[in-house]
Amino acid sequence: MTAQRPLTVSSARTGLAGRVRVPGDKSISHRALMFAALAEGRTHIFGLLEGEDVLRTAEAMRALGAKVVQKDGCWIVDGCGVDGLKEPSDVLDMGNSGTAARLLSGVLATHPFMSIMTGDASLRSRPMGRVSVPLSEMGARFVTRAGQKLPMAVEGTGKGKPLHYRLPVASAQVKSAILLAGLNCEGETVVEEPAPTRDHTENMLRHFGTEVKVEELPEAGRRITLKGPARLVAQDVLVPGDPSSAAFPVVAALLVPGSEIVVEAVGQNPLRTGLFRTLKEMGASLEIRDERVEGGEVIGDLHVRAGRLKAVDVPAVRVPSMIDEYPVLAVACAFAEGTSRLRGLAELRVKESDRLASTVALLEANGAKVHVEGDDLIIEGQKSLPGGGKVQTHMDHRLAMSATVLGLAAEKPVHIDDTAFIETSFPGFVSLMNGLGAGLEV
């Protein structure tokens, strides 16, 4: 078990300044390793996030028969082909990563062997039924703990049955799991989503040579169609900076007076940049410069300058494009002028922690005026927050980083019970923030 790392964060003495590059996109990193393992040939992955979550995925793909090595900052994967993975000799431990566990469920569902997945205490508390139910319809069999929780045994099938499935809730993880299973099915696998979710899986399928059809639905959702069995051919991948990680230095720079920073080469996929759009609506000095395309994904440099923010009303339809950024957005709203309403946050209740309840607790402990109405979070902004609170992170890396941002802008020091789990998504977070002048001491 990882030792706890408590942290006390005091108000930044001077404005944050400098140019930084955040770690590679976590969502794309997981997918790059899985697709490379399923491809024929050798893939080179550059800029892979080397956090604990992604390293668990790398280890899982090794256990399933792919050759995965790291050399001079590049990850090299010799794949097995879509139907070439082998039965693992031991339990697959996915650590803290719900993305890895759910996507890998799709891979395992249409391979003809038995496997077992588990994870840390946080992941074992999260529901897996949202993927096991549709994947069962494709021929796989799942056995879980009560409440459809890990550990989970997967009895995969060879050639699975194609599925036409409409997602009850917009979820890129569930969509991706079904599409990954569909690679090894005879016929068309179709997923309809009620609202567009991050499309890294579709982009990567195309990058590895598989045709994917995406249609806009009249009611604002999308229909994704994949014809199987499919063949993936190895392609090199360059992973952009993670917009979910960039969120923390960006919001910190907006809130700490006198700050001016640049975050380089951040992914600008429109289905991932809801936070940046929202911050601009709040009046943030946030510019995206030098946009370019790398490995099928748009990237750009974020130029950020501190300034007063105003309240915002965020529609529920924006949730899929910024699902991981709501805690740090809530921190920004707590310092904004006016009352903000963040709508439709039911999905936050089933993240690494009950993120909605934990975000409320984080803000209330430090003097913010906040409450929940149904699935909406309402925050009454103040010019300054007293701080001085003790934050329980519940092993949630994004809560820990959001509390850090709040501490840099609050009047009194903020005490965080544990920051060890930050390494799952943002290795080097403290060093990066200190390089901008944050003065954090773990």
Binding residue ranges for phosphoenolpyruvate: 26, 98, 126, 173, 355, 398
Residues making up the binding site for 3-phosphoshikimate: 26-27, 31, 171, 173, 324, 351
How many angstroms separate the CA atoms of 429 and 179, rounded? Answer: 33
Q: What angle separates helix 397-409 from helix 355-364, to the nearest 10 degrees?
A: 20
Return the percent helix, strand and coil in the chain, to nearest 5.
35, 30, 40
DSSP assignment of 384-422:
---B--EE--TT-HHHHHHHHHHHHHSSB-EEES--GGG
* Catalytic residue flag (residue 324): yes
Nearest CA among 284, 304, 127, 385 for reference residue 402: 385
Catalytic-labelled residue, pool 242, 324, 396, 418: 324
HSE, side-chain direction, 13 A CA sphere, residue 351: 23
> Which residue carries 């990680």 as its tokens?
245
Q: Are 141 and 121 in contact (CB under 8 A)?
A: no
Alpha helices in 256-374 (DSSP H): 274-281, 326-334, 355-364
Residues making up the binding site: 26-27, 31, 98, 126, 171, 173, 324, 351, 355, 398
- Dihedral angle at the C-alpha atoms of 365, 367, 369, 372, nearest 10 degrees? -10
Strands of 369-373's sheet in order across? 313-314, 339-342, 376-380, 369-373
Question: CA torsion sign, 316 to 321 to 326 to 332?
Answer: negative
The neighbour count for residue 143, using CB atoms within 10 Å, is: 11
Residue 256 tokens, joined: 């700490």
Residue 111 tokens, joined: 């391979």
**Phi-psi bin for 384: left (phi > 0), alpha (psi -120 to 50), beta?**
beta
* DSSP letter assigned to residue 298: E
How many angstroms separate the CA atoms of 237 and 259, rounded? Answer: 34
How many angstroms separate the CA atoms of 195 and 255, rounded? Answer: 31
Q: Among all residues, which ones are annotated catalytic?
A: 324
